[in-house]
Structure 1
């Protein structure tokens, strides 16, 4: 009897069982929200237990969501934060990573120490708020962009990727008269596309899901990003105004499906980004993990 072969098969069965269970635990909440958003409000309210399919079929919740001007305004503000913010993030992180990855830079290790230090110690929320207020960014979408131009963890990952590029390429470029900007944008970045794709995904998810600092720095409702509008709908339970066409007795029922439809509207766009960067994702993450 081949005990080794049996042990390997048993191990594979256990691994696949655990991974399947994790997949179900991870996927079911998304499926629940999807099914609930398309369900008939009355049937959803009356239903108890697991939801494995839509209860009836209704698009009223989605119609109500897109009639809400706050949703469309939130989309506009979030898209501005996403496009401008990710562009600034990539540019600033690339510049910082390039400088820190150059071996000839004076006090390189000292700079890295102080940069990493900020990951563990910071001044706190109140001094941060006072600084943002002092530079006049209160009630400005730039308050969610400029103070977060560089994420320290992402900077370290990108620096590690840049260090993996052979020094001979940089030396050859310098012999041909290339300056640092040419080396960075013509050589380093094209050879680091996997990690760039990972940075785009990390920064895009961060910008899309950001609501905390927006709730602190932005009070003008016309400047609310999408996630702040979503938070207001879910926590403040402000769905009555979105179900104005319904009778008063039905507003609570429709409000439940509106909550789920709002979650879908806010989540699906960022989920659609992942397939475009998936082929780079694993390679890019491993670059940051293999070399320090």
Structure 2
């Protein structure tokens, strides 16, 4: 048995008789028990730093005014948890309307961006596409240069998109990085498969929809998640282009009533004849609602995340 074979026989009962019990794998000794314990402590500390603020936000959203005042603003664990803040938010006021706007923009924007990105990326993989190289250079230039605030605002105003939901979608419809990632994934597909489809009489659109996209679920999931997170978290575009408060997305409401500490009145919450819950509870409840959709979507796409991103980034 060779030295390499003996190396992988660590701890195995089928190791040859008389051979020394090897304690290394590929020449690297396993970490000692104190080092493992230290790594566990460091990992536990990192998890605590990440989880503790989330627990504090959720607990504060469930606490009453007395406990919030006693705790100094943030509650680690509520004595008498209550859903009054969430009931007030979902009563049909400004937060409910903003949540509906954000969901609509995220779904419509992510689907449109995914469709346009897939079409552009596929066209850039075809050498005979009209203006193939200039289009590719334009996409690459967007990674180096971005338009300023004033030119973007003037363009949106000249197109008549001010106070329109399309002003939150069309200016950011295509992202150059996502195009490059998807193009690299498409180029990694077997060329023989695409050639056989053309021999059978399939056009470019049929090849894209029936062969390329079904084989690219991983990169579609990753790029779709990128677009969805970008649309969901965007507030600056709404701050620039949306003047009507009835069209505000959730992130702009979050900025106004949490970051700027504005007061949510009973009228804004659509509460008739009722006193609103504590403002701190309302603010933390809005923050929780803004986190939940992405936290629910990400686990569904996680298994595609590493594969789609790495395969798309290795080549291109």
TM-score computed with the length of structure 2 as normaliser: 0.83
Q: Which residue pairs with 1:134 in the alignment?
A: 158
Tell me if structure 2 keeps the 8 A contact 1:161–1:195. yes
Instruction: Describe the shift of the 1:14–1:109 C-alpha distance in structure 2 as closer, same or farther (beyond 3 A).
Output: farther
Tell me if structure 1 keeps the 8 A contact 2:185–2:216. yes
- Total equivalences in the alignment: 287
Tell me if structure 1 keeps the 8 A contact 2:219–2:309. yes
Q: Which residue pairs with 2:14 in the alignment?
A: none
- Which residues in structure 2 correspond to 1:1-292 (within 5 Å)? 5=29, 7=31, 12-48=36-72, 51-67=75-91, 69-105=93-129, 108-242=132-266, 245-246=274-275, 254-292=278-316
- 1:181 deviates by 0.4
Note the residue ranges of structure 2 that are not aligned, 5 or more in a row: 1-21
Q: In structure 2, what is the Cα distance between the partners aligned to 1:19 and 1:103?
A: 48
Tell me if structure 2 keeps the 8 A contact 1:201–1:274. yes
Q: Deviations over 1:129-174 (max 9, x none)?
A: 0000000000000001111110111111111111111100110000
Q: Deviations over 1:158-206 (max 9, x none)?
A: 1111111110011000000000001111111100101111112111111
Q: In structure 2, what is the Cα distance between the partners aligned to 1:181 and 1:35?
A: 51
Q: In structure 1, what is the Cα distance between the partners aligned to 2:62 and 2:106?
A: 28
Instruction: Describe the shift of the 1:49–1:210 C-alpha distance in structure 2 as closer, same or farther (beyond 3 A).
Output: closer
Q: In structure 2, what is the Cα distance between the partners aligned to 1:30 and 1:288?
A: 33
More helix by percentage: 1
Note the residue ranges of structure 1 that are not aligned, 5 or more in a row: none
Tell me if structure 2 keeps the 8 A contact 1:43–1:56. no
Q: In structure 1, what is the Cα distance between the partners aligned to 2:226 and 2:191?
A: 28
Q: Which residue pairs with 2:3 in the alignment?
A: none
Where 1:119 maps in the other structure, the secondary structure is helix
Q: Deviations over 1:18-38 (max 9, x none)?
A: 333322222222111111111
Tell me if structure 1 keeps the 8 A contact 2:121–2:179. yes
Instruction: Describe the shift of the 1:49–1:216 C-alpha distance in structure 2 as closer, same or farther (beyond 3 A).
Output: closer
Q: In structure 1, what is the Cα distance between the partners aligned to 2:225 and 2:201?
A: 34
Please say which structure displays the higher CA radius of gyration: 2
User: With CA pairs under 8 Å and 6+ residues apart, which has the higher RCO, 1 or 2?
Assistant: 1
Where 2:82 maps in the other structure, the secondary structure is coil
Q: In structure 2, what is the Cα distance between the partners aligned to 1:83 and 1:50?
A: 33
Tell me if structure 2 keeps the 8 A contact 1:36–1:55. no
- 1:98 deviates by 0.3
Q: Deviations over 1:7-26 (max 9, x none)?
A: 46555444444333322222
- 1:120 deviates by 2.0
Where 2:143 maps in the other structure, the secondary structure is coil
- 1:54 deviates by 2.3
